[in-house]
Amino acid sequence: MSLLLNFVRLVDATNEWIGRTVSWLTLGAILVCFLVVLLRYGFSIGYPWMQELYVWQHASVFMLGAGYTMLHRGHVSVDIFYGRFTPHKQAWIDIICVVVFLFPWLAVLAITSTPFILASWSIQEASAQVEGLPGLYLFKTLIWLFCAVLFIQGLALIARRSLFLMGHSIDSDEAAETAI
């Protein structure tokens, strides 16, 4: 029981830290975007690498912050019936949905993106823009990281709901406090 509880706390704390850290990229994206607009329309200067930078920052927030969002139940859900169910039924639904929907979807995404990512790594792909950012292959690797953070958070959700069904509970707010 203690091992499962520690696993949930570790995963929650990790995704809490990742989410809070990558959230700063939002500010970076805003500032870089502002600078791109200012330079382009104020001074007729353009840098392709700067335009790509704010797109990469924005995408990184979504890809790496997905586990954080799942931890805080921020993903869109259609809970027409879910909200009316007892907490025990909700726990079972959460477990079943992670196993039946999330994990297979992540597997398909990880497997189908593998040739795309490996091909990019094999040539150390850079931006198609003349003065774009190097390391596009690193950016494409975010697909695997996205799958990883959601997978481990899915495992933590299953563990949390299983603990609840066995009479124990762990609140995600508790894990968030340990991350700070």
Per-residue confidence (pLDDT) for residue 172, from 0 to 100: 52
Asked if residues 14 and 156 have their Cβ atoms less than 8 Å apart, the reply is no
Distance separating alpha carbons of residues 168 and 161, to the nearest angstrom: 9
- Global pTM reads 0.87
Residue found under tokens 């939002």: 26
* Mean pLDDT, residues 79-100 taken together: 91
Residue 171 has pLDDT above 80, yes or no: no
Per-residue confidence (pLDDT) for residue 168, from 0 to 100: 84
For the segment 147-164, what is each residue's pLDDT rounded down to a tens digit? 999 999 999 999 999 999
| Residue 46: band (very low, low, confident or very high) from pLDDT cuts 50, 70, 90 | very high
The closest of 63, 66, 33, 61 to 47, measured between CA atoms, is 33
Per-residue confidence (pLDDT) for residue 76, from 0 to 100: 75
Residues 6 or more apart in contact with residue 151 via CB below 8 angstroms: 103, 106
* Mean pLDDT, residues 93-107 taken together: 96
